[in-house]
Amino acid sequence: GAVVSQHPSRVICKSGTSVKIECRSLDFQATTMFWYRQFPKKSLMLMATSNEGSKATYEQGVEKDKFLINHASLTLSTLTVTSAHPEDSSFYICSARAAGGPADTQYFGPGTRLTVL
Amino acid sequence: AQSVTQLDSHVSVSEGTPVLLRCNYSSSYSPSLFWYVQHPNKGLQLLLKYTSAATLVKGINGFEAEFKKSETSFHLTKPSAHMSDAAEYFCVVPSGGYQKVTFGTGTKLQVIP
């Protein structure tokens, strides 16, 4: 149980284009989903927290117009990287907190490797 | 505020020897604590979780961790390293009123045949 999927697992795009990454909770409902970014050989950095049906809360220094987050249902959140540039290349990981589950526990997706040429 | 410090960025052990990955936490109360493992280009897998029910926590793949309040530590151990254990390990603590989690900087475990 508590499986989180991400799609795509890997994406390569041209500079200036937009890329959408999906995060799904497969066997549970997620009231809250989180988006992280991981630079090579670094730890995970929280980008934003999204609650179903409301606007995402972005961490300091994260451009909300650059990284659009939508949490339209209890099992799906999307991250859209708009007008991507090579510096946006990174490993993006989402996580989800189960509705009614332990507040301190997040279930992580397998990550999406974004490469911007 | 809750935080964790992973004392070693890189640990190298020989296959079949014990593993010790160190984590110290900072908290005004006994927190929940987690260890996650990340294999290359993969997502994070939960190894184990401490919730105050027992100070010695057993996880998957033969790993365990002991919560020591007096030392504010939550070190991860395994009696005998396997080649498949080579990965990045993260010590994690809930933060922001349990709305978020804070990751340690990670420890890369290398297992030498």
Q: Do A42 and B49 touch (CB under 8 A)?
A: no
Is the pLDDT assigned to residue B1 strictly greater than 90?
no
Contact present, A45 and A61 (Cβ < 8 Å): no
Mean pLDDT of A67-73: 91
Closest-CA distance of chain A to residue B89, Å: 10
Q: What pLDDT is attached to residue A99? A: 84
Is any Cβ of chain A less than 8 angstroms from the Cβ of B29? Answer: no
Q: CB neighbours (10 Å) of residue B28?
A: 7
Q: Do A49 and B101 touch (CB under 8 A)?
A: no
Mean pLDDT of A83-91: 95
Per-residue pLDDT band for B30 (boundaries 50, 70, 90) equals low
pLDDT in tens, B67-110: 998 999 999 999 999 999 999 999 998 876 657 888 999 999 99
Helix (H, G, I), strand (E, B) or coil at B3: strand
Rounded-to-integer distance, Cα A21 and Cα A63, Å: 17
CB within 8 Å of A26: residues ≥ 6 apart: A3, A4, A5, A75
| Chain A residue with Cα closest to B38 | A110
Per-residue pLDDT band for A43 (boundaries 50, 70, 90) equals confident
Say what percent of chain B tops pLDDT 70. 94
| Chain A residue with Cα closest to B42 | A110
Is the pLDDT assigned to residue A61 strictly greater than 70?
yes
Give A82 or A72, the one with higher predicted confidence.
A82
Give A49 or B28, the one with higher predicted confidence.
A49
Is any Cβ of chain B less than 8 angstroms from the Cβ of A50? Answer: no
Rounded-to-integer distance, Cα A83 and Cα A15, Å: 7
Would you call the peptide bond into A8 cis, given omega within 30 degrees of 0 as the criterion? yes
Q: Do B43 and A110 touch (CB under 8 A)?
A: yes
Closest-CA distance of chain B to residue A65, Å: 22
Taking chain B, what is the end-to-end CA distance rounded to the nearest angstrom?
Answer: 41
Per-residue pLDDT band for B32 (boundaries 50, 70, 90) equals confident
- Which residues numbered 57-86 in B keep a CB inside 8 Å of some CB on A? none
Mean pLDDT of A59-86: 93
